Structure 1
Amino acid sequence: MSTPCEEIRPELEALLGAMTEGRLDADGKRRLAAILRDHPDARQFYLDYCQMHALLQSAHGVLQGLALPSPSRRRRLTWGAAAAAVLLLSGGVILVREKVRLDVDVASVRGAAWVVRGGSRVPLSESREMREGDRIVTGPESRTQVRTRDGSHITLLEKTDLQVGTRFELKEGAIRCDITPQPRPLVIATPHAEAMILGTSFDLSVGWNETRLRMLSGRVRFATEGQSVEVGPGETASASAAGLVRWLPVCSLDFTKLKELPPQMETGFCPSDIHLTPQRKVVPAPERVLLTDRGLTFGKPPGAEHGLIEARWKEEIGDDLILEAEVAAGEKWGLGISVSGNSFEGYRVFYAAIAGYPNGVAIDTIQPGEHLVFARDTRAIAFDKDHTLRVERRGARIRAWVDGQVWIDTEVTHPLPEDRKRTFALCNFGAYPVVRSLRVWKAAP
C-alpha cells in the first residue's frame, strides 16, 4: 500500500476509518474529497485502502466486531484489517454475515436484448430484475440501461455482453457509465484490463483485441498486468497485449457552434496540377474552409482552380495521435485525416463515400513526384448516414475505424521528410464532407 505524506496521513486514516464504518458525515465527505483532489499520493492510498477492504469483504463477507471500536482503537483497526482476516480463519470472535448482493435492475430497453442465466437466454423484457452473475446481451442497434441500488446507471450499446454483480465484467461491446460516488471502488473488468471507479462518468469498450476507456468526468484507475494509470477528465486510455497507453486531450472542437476556425488552426491549398510536383506551393486559403451551422466543410469560389484543401493544426504535437471526426449524412463526400504531418507531408487516412479512389478507406502519402498507397479497404461507405471516423497512429502502426469497426490495421515505415512539423490536419480533394466535430488526443509521455 502506498504511503501519503506525514502531514495528511493521520487525518486521512481517520476519514477512511469513518467511511468504512459508515460514520462519515457531510463535512467529512467534503474534507476527504478535498484531500483526494489535492494530493495524488493520497488518491493512490485511498485506492489501495478501498481495494484491500473490498478484497477482504469479497473473500470473507462483511467483517463486524462485537462492539464498535473506541476512537483510540480506530487507527489500530484500520491497519489491522489483514490481521482480522487471519483471526476469522482461525476461529476468532469476529462475526461474518453473508456477502451482500449488488441490486441491479433494468431501467429501459430499446431494441433486442436478452439476459443469459443458467445456460438459458430469455428476452430482457421478461426479466427486469438481475441476479448475481447474470449476463445482459444486446443485439444490433440496441440500447439498454441498467440501474444499481445506489443510483448509478450503465448503458449498454449495441452488440454488448456485460455480466453484472458485485463485480461487473464487460466481455465485448461498449458501455457508458454514470457512477455515483462509491465508498469503495466499483470494479469493471474486461479481457485486457480493470477499471476501478470511485464515482464518475465514462465510456468503456472492448473490441479488436483491446479495451478502451474514455473519461467524461472524474477519475478512474485503469490497470492491467504490471501497469496502472490514473485517467482524468477528457483523457482516454487503451489496454492490449502490447501494454497500457494513456492519451491526453489536444482539442475537442464542435464545428456546429464555431463561426471561424480556432486560432490554433490554419488553412492550406495547392492546385491539383502541381501538388505532386517539386514545384508545388501550399498557400493559405481561408475562403475554401467554411463553417456552417451543420459543421465544417470545404469549397471553392466560382471559377477557381481545383486542388487539395486542408485545415491543419499549427503547433507541433508529435507522431502518436488519436483523431476522431463525426461526419454528417448528406451528399457523397471524401475526407482525409493526416497524422505525423500535414496533408502534404504526413500519412493520410482517406475516407471516401464516392466511386473511384479511394472508394472506402486508404492510407497514403503524397510527396513531390510520387503518390504512395500503403493499404486499402474498398468496402463502400454509405453517404446517407452519419459516421464516426477514427484514426490512431502509435509507433509504426496505423489503424482506421469506421463507426467503431477497424477497417485497416497496418504498419507503415516509409520515411517522411525529417524537417516536417509533426502535426495533424483534415483535408479534401473534392466531394465536400460536413464534419460536425473533431477530437484529438496525444500519447502521454
Structure 2
Amino acid sequence: MDKARLWLAIASIAAGLPVFAAPAVVVDAVQAPAWVERGGQRVEVKAGDEVRAGDRLRTGEEGRLRLKLAEGSTVKLGKQASFGVEKAEAGGVFRATFTATAGAFRFTTDPSRKGEGRDVEIKTLHVTAGVRGTDLWGKSTPEREFIVLIEGRISVGAAGQPPVTLSTPLDFYERTAAGAAGVKRLDPATLAEYARETEMGTFAEVPRSIR
C-alpha cells in the first residue's frame, strides 16, 4: 500500500471514532484534605479529576484546591471552602455558574486567552459577579461576603441592590450580614495577605483577620 492510500485508510478509521470534548472543569492541584460531593456521596478529590455540573467541592482545615477551566482560567480555593458547579459548558463560548458559599476563592484568566468568549457567574450567598476576563479574589464568611477586583472589569451586585461595575483595581464590593452593601477600597498590602490564603502551601502564616 502506498503512502497516499495508507493515510486515506487512517483518515477513514479516524472519521468513525467518537469525538470526546475536553472537560469543562478539571482539578489541577490538591492540598489535602479536599473532597467532591456528587450524587449524595463525598469522596477525596485528586489532581486530574473532572468536575461536573452539580458537583460541590469542599476543602478542610489547611486544604487547598486549584481548578483549570477549559477556556484557560484558573480557580483557586482556600481552606474550609465550599464551591459548587451549577453549570459548566465548554462548547463554543464557555459558560459556567459557580457558587462560592464558604471560604476564599480566586478566579484568574490566562492573559493570553482574555479575548476568548466566556460567560461566567460567581455567586456567594447574596452577591453575584459577572466575569468575562479578569482576576478577582473573594471570600464568604457568616459576617460578610466580598469580591475584590485585581485586574479587568466585573459587574457585581447583591440581591435587592442595583449591580455596579468595578473597573479600578483594588476596588471591592462588600455585603455584610446586616444587609449593607457597597463599594470600598483595599490597600495593596492587605490584598497581598488575602491572596496568600488561596495559595498552595500556606498554613499558619495566613493572618488571623482573614480566617
**Structure 2 vs 1, CA of residues 145 and 229 (structure 1 numbering), >3 Å: closer, same or farther?**
same
**Structure 2 CA distance for aligned equivalents of residues 118 and 404 of structure 1:** 32
Larger Rg belongs to: 1
Q: Does 1:222 pair with 2:156? A: yes
Report deviation, 1:132: 0.9
Q: Which residue of 1 aligns with 2:65?
A: 144
**CA distance in 2 between partners of 1:324 and 1:187 (Å):** 22
TM-score by length of 2: 0.69
- 1:200 maps to 134
The answer for the alignment partner of 1:382 in structure 2 is none
Q: Is the 8 A contact 2:22 2:70 kept in 1?
A: no
List alignment gaps of at least 5 residues for structure 2. Answer: 1-20, 88-95, 194-203
Report the AA paired with residue 404 of structure 1.
Answer: I
Query: Paired residue for 1:247?
Result: 184
State the AA in 2 paired with 1:243.
Answer: A
Among 171, 177, 183, the residue aligned to 2:107: 177
Match of 1:117 among 38, 52, 56: 38
Pick from 41, 53, 57 the counterpart of residue 132 of structure 1.
Answer: 53
Report the equivalent of 1:231: 166
Aligned equivalents of 1:243, 1:228: Cα separation in 2: 14
Alignment of 1:10-409 (within 5 A): 103-125=24-46, 128-164=49-85, 165=87, 166-180=96-110, 181=114, 183-224=117-158, 225-232=160-167, 233-240=169-176, 241-249=178-186, 251-252=187-188, 386=205, 388=207, 402-405=208-211
Name the amino acid aligned to 1:208: P
Cα deviation, residue 222, structure 1: 0.8
Task: Give per-residue Cα distances to partners, 1:410-429, cap 9 Å, x unaligned.
Answer: xxxxxxxxxxxxxxxxxxxx
Q: Residues 131 and 325 of structure 1: is their aligned pair in 2 closer, same or farther, counting only changes over 3 Å?
A: closer
- Code of the aligned partner of 1:231: L
Identity %: 25
Query: TM-score, normalising length from structure 1?
Result: 0.34
| 1:242-288 C-alpha deviation (Å, 9 max, x unpaired) | 23211135x535xxxxxxxxxxxxxxxxxxxxxxxxxxxxxxxxxxx
Q: Distance in 2 between matches of 1:127 and 1:201?
A: 23
- Decide whether the 8 Å contact of 1:152 with 1:178 is kept in 2: yes
Output the CA distance in 2 between the equivalents of 1:222 and 1:144.
Answer: 24
Counterpart amino acid of residue 151 in structure 2: S
- Show structure 1 runs of 5+ residues with no match: 1-99, 254-322, 327-384, 389-401, 406-445
Structure 2 SS opposite 1:146? strand
- Matched position secondary structure for 1:107: strand
- Distance in 1, matches of 2:46 and 2:81, equals 17
**Match for residue 57 of structure 1?**
none
CA offset at residue 231 of structure 1?
1.7
One-letter amino acid of the structure 1 residue matched with residue 52 of structure 2? R
Residue 229 of structure 1 and its aligned partner are, at CA, apart by 1.6
Structure-2 change in CA distance of 1:109 and 1:242 (3 Å): same
Amino acid at match of 2:166: V
Q: Is the 8 A contact 2:28 2:48 kept in 1?
A: no
Q: Give yes or no for contact 1:102–1:132 (8 Å, CA) kept in 2.
A: no
Q: What is the alpha-carbon distance in structure 2 between the residues aligned to residue 252 and residue 169 of structure 1?
A: 26
Tell me the amino acid that sits aligned with residue 229 of structure 1.
V
What stretches of structure 1 move > 3 A for 4+ residues in a row? 323-326
* Count of residues in Structure 1 that have an aligned counterpart in Structure 2: 165
1:123 maps to amino acid: E
Q: Aligned letter for 2:210?
A: G
Higher relative contact order (CA 8 A, sep 6+): 2
Report the Cα distance in structure 2 between the residues aligned to 1:158 and 1:168, rounded to whole angstroms: 17
- Residue type at the aligned position of 1:239: R
In the TM superposition, residue 119 of structure 1 has moved relative to its aligned partner by: 0.6
CA contact (8 A) 1:221 1:230 kept: yes
1:25-77 CA-to-partner distances (Å, cap 9, x unmatched) read xxxxxxxxxxxxxxxxxxxxxxxxxxxxxxxxxxxxxxxxxxxxxxxxxxxxx
Q: Is the partner of 1:208 in helix, strand or coil?
A: coil
